[in-house]
A and B are shown apart, each in its own frame.
Chain A
Amino acid sequence: MTVQSSSESLDRGLARGVMPRAKSGSTYNYVLRGVALLFTAVLALFVWSVLHQSWPAWTKYGLHILTGNNWSPAENNFGALALILATLITAGVAILFAVPIGIGTALTLNFVVPRRLAAPLTTVVELLAAVPSVVYGLWGLNVIVPWMSTTVQPWLASLTNSGWPFSGNAIGLGISTASLVLAIMVLPTIVAISRDVIATVPRDLIEGALSLGATRSQVLTRVVLPNAKIGLLGAVSLGAGRAIGETVAVAMVIGSSPSMPHSFFSLGSTLASTIATQYIDSSPMHMAALGALATILMVMTASVNAFARALVNRKPKS
């Protein structure tokens, strides 16, 4: 105990800079700080470059970019509402599917599966995250799209008699397929972070509940989940951030049409997929408008991620 506290006071001393003052002028320190400064500058340049590029579009069209629903570069009309909505809908539906499965998987890996099996199964789930997104796009385009158009979409349409929200032609490409592919892609993120969060639930609480005669399901639903809920919200938000920003796989299966989505079968275009498909060979104002999309995308994903990290990194109350 005393050893630890003396080490802690040394830590505090080091953190306050009591000891390192003597060496603060060394080359080593200059290099460290120089690189930190360089990285800060690059980050600032990065944010500035996106803002700077989008500036002409913001000054010319203003908030029309956010509220207009007609995106047609040929007519110099840049209203991104449909793109923003398609982004939010695909990410939202993906999260809706991925959250219960992801959290269920995390609970299974931590509490149900025998420990010897848990490690390889975790690896398998993590490998899902390692598959490049262009491969998901390829798979989505050639396997999921036909399956959706021949099996899933006709079935969905029969549920509502081809009425809203499953109206329109079942051609496979579109919002619903993009959502499904996104759900598969964000699942490993949600599982990985949820596992870490669930692992921090105090062992005493779980053992206490078990000793009082609670069943395993009661322990999981009434002790583990309530205790981990804030961190789990963080995990879900990280998944949402990934879904919002996913580019190539979505661009390959969503059908690239910047019109307002009116059903789950409509073709669409998200913010990221529009940038991916239109950026090259665009006119200056078109590029500025795409820069504006990038700005919206950056603000959305950065705030979702900051929120998520704050929740996940939260110090557990002891």
Chain B
Amino acid sequence: MTDVLAQLPPDPLLERRRLVQSIATKTQRRRAVRSSLFIGLLSACLAMAIVPLFFVIYALIVRGGHVLTWVFITKVPVQPTLFEQDQIGGIGNAILGSLVVDLVAALIAVPLGVILGLYLSETETRWANGLRRAAEIMTGLPSILLGIFAYIYIVTTMQSFSGFAASIALAMLMTPVITKAAETALRSVPRTLTEAGLALGARQSKVSLRVVLPVATPGIITGVLLALARAIGETAPLLFVIGASINYEWNPFHQMAALPMMTFTYSSAAYDSQHAAAWGIGLMLVIIVLVLNASARLIAAFMRRERH
């Protein structure tokens, strides 16, 4: 081999070629390094975005995990005293309160949201477009404004704080979310189904209610669960409408306790046992919200598999 190479005439451009090649290699390497540095930076962004969630969940479990006992979940709260600082009672009243308030809110918001979704998915008038945009903007409005709305119309009219006022505020919060989900789900139902129904002579109303709506139901349920998950953790709309109660209270027209409110008040309370309770309720809220989110996701995934 070497002999053959040695016999060849010397390459007059050899030096130049080598130079060009070395520059090319260097550039190539620099580009590769620069690119992987950038990719590394991006991955660091992802890490930084995810880390807080783990910190939050870690803190919740460490500081609130031991609080969650059967007694804590079922009893009503007791005010700790200087001599019995650890007596805290439970949060049964707040669990019941949250349940009633969110259930009433859902009873108002679900039909409203689904019907609005039907309307928006079938109509293209200027009014409908404006309404769609208004609902979209409303999802971005601070929830405390809805608290003011409920205060002005419900609390001042009824002359008292009530779980119902909180339900109204939360229903206002949930409705645009459900509307958006319902409209998207209804619009994604294949057009051919509607046309087939109409071609068979069914009225638009029959087609919408019997053909389109059932197909879109999983998507709507996903939206309802996500809206509920948001509503359950909201504190701001409840602050000045729900009042407080330390007993089991079934009547939504009375003052009530609620889980997020309880976390809020306990977090600035006097005793360590109350702080621990705040963490415990926080952990419980996060678990509830995660379960709701997970079920919404499962339904969405199930739906996607059905379709393909």
Contact = CB atoms under 8 A, between A and B. Distances in A.
Interface of A: 7, 10-11, 15, 19-20, 23, 26-29, 31-33, 35-36, 38-40, 42-43, 45-46, 49-50, 52-53, 100-105, 107-109, 112-113, 121, 123-128, 130-139, 141-143, 184, 187-188, 191, 215-218, 220-221, 238, 241-242, 244-248, 252, 272, 275-276, 279-280, 291, 294, 297-298, 301-302, 304-306, 308-309
Instruction: Sort A-B residue pairs by CB-CB distance and give the 4 closest, nearest first.
Output: A132-B233, A104-B45, A245-B142, A28-B205
Interface string B42-55: 11111011101101
Contacts of B142: 244-247, 272, 297-298, 301
A297 B48 CA distance: 30
Which of B133, B209, B268, B282 gathers the greatest number of chain A CB atoms within 10 Å?
Answer: B282
18 contacts: A28-B205, A29-B204, A36-B116, A104-B42, A108-B43, A113-B46, A121-B46, A125-B50, A131-B53, A135-B282, A139-B55, A142-B275, A187-B52, A215-B31, A216-B38, A217-B34, A245-B140, A309-B133
B53 A46 contact: no
Nearest to A34: B115
B293 A127 contact: yes
A54 B48 CA distance: 42
Interface stretch (B9-17, B72-80, B147-155, B249-257): B147-155
B122 A238 contact: no
B56 A242 contact: no
Contacts of A19: 198
Given A135-B285, A297-B142, 11 more contacts: A27-B205, A45-B153, A50-B149, A103-B45, A107-B42, A108-B46, A113-B43, A137-B267, A241-B140, A245-B140, A308-B140
A305 B234 contact: no
Contacts of A49: 148-149, 152-153
A294 B236 contact: no
Contacts of A131: 53, 56, 233, 286, 289
A141 B264 CA distance: 11
Which of A38, A131, A184, A188 gathers the greatest number of chain B CB atoms within 10 Å?
Answer: A131
Given A32-B119, A139-B59, A216-B39, A53 B148 contact: yes
A216 B42 CA distance: 12
Interface of B: 31-32, 34-35, 37-39, 41-46, 48-50, 52-53, 55-56, 59-60, 63, 112, 115-116, 118-119, 122-124, 127-128, 131, 133-138, 140-149, 151-153, 172, 175, 191-192, 195, 198, 203-205, 208-209, 229-230, 232-236, 239-240, 260, 263-264, 267-268, 275, 278-279, 282, 285-286, 289-290, 293, 297
A247 B144 contact: yes
Given A39-B112, A138-B278, A301-B141, A46 B149 contact: yes
Nearest to B149: A46
B263 A138 contact: yes
Contact of B191 (A11, A39, A125, A246): A11
A303 B45 CA distance: 29
Contacts of B38: 216-217, 220-221
A279 B134 contact: no
Nearest to A290: B148
Nearest to B151: A279
B92 to A, nearest CB: 19
A26 B209 CA distance: 13
A107 B46 CA distance: 9
Given A28-B209, A135-B60, A248 B235 contact: yes
Interface SS of chain A: helix, strand, loop or mixed?
helix
A301 B127 CA distance: 22
Contact of B145 (A50, A104, A280, A309): A50
Nearest to A132: B233
A112 B31 contact: no
B148 A50 contact: yes
B180 to A, nearest CB: 11
Nearest to B161: A280
A302 B141 contact: yes
Contact of B144 (A127, A143, A272): A272
Nearest to B239: A276
Contacts of B191: 7, 11
B43 to A, nearest CB: 6
Contacts of A52: 152
B116 A191 contact: no
A94 to B, nearest CB: 13
Nearest to A8: B191
A133 B235 contact: yes
Contacts of B282: 132, 134-135, 138-139
B306 to A, nearest CB: 18
Contacts of B147: 279
A100 B45 contact: yes
Contacts of A26: 203-205
Contact of A35 (B112, B198, B234): B112
Nearest to B279: A138
Contact of B49 (A31, A191, A220, A241): A191
B45 A101 contact: yes
A126 B264 CA distance: 24
A7 B195 contact: yes
Nearest to B267: A138
Given A36-B116, A121-B50, A112 B42 contact: yes
Contacts of B235: 132-134, 247-248
A108 B42 contact: yes
A192 to B, nearest CB: 11
B46 A109 contact: yes
Contacts of B59: 139, 142-143
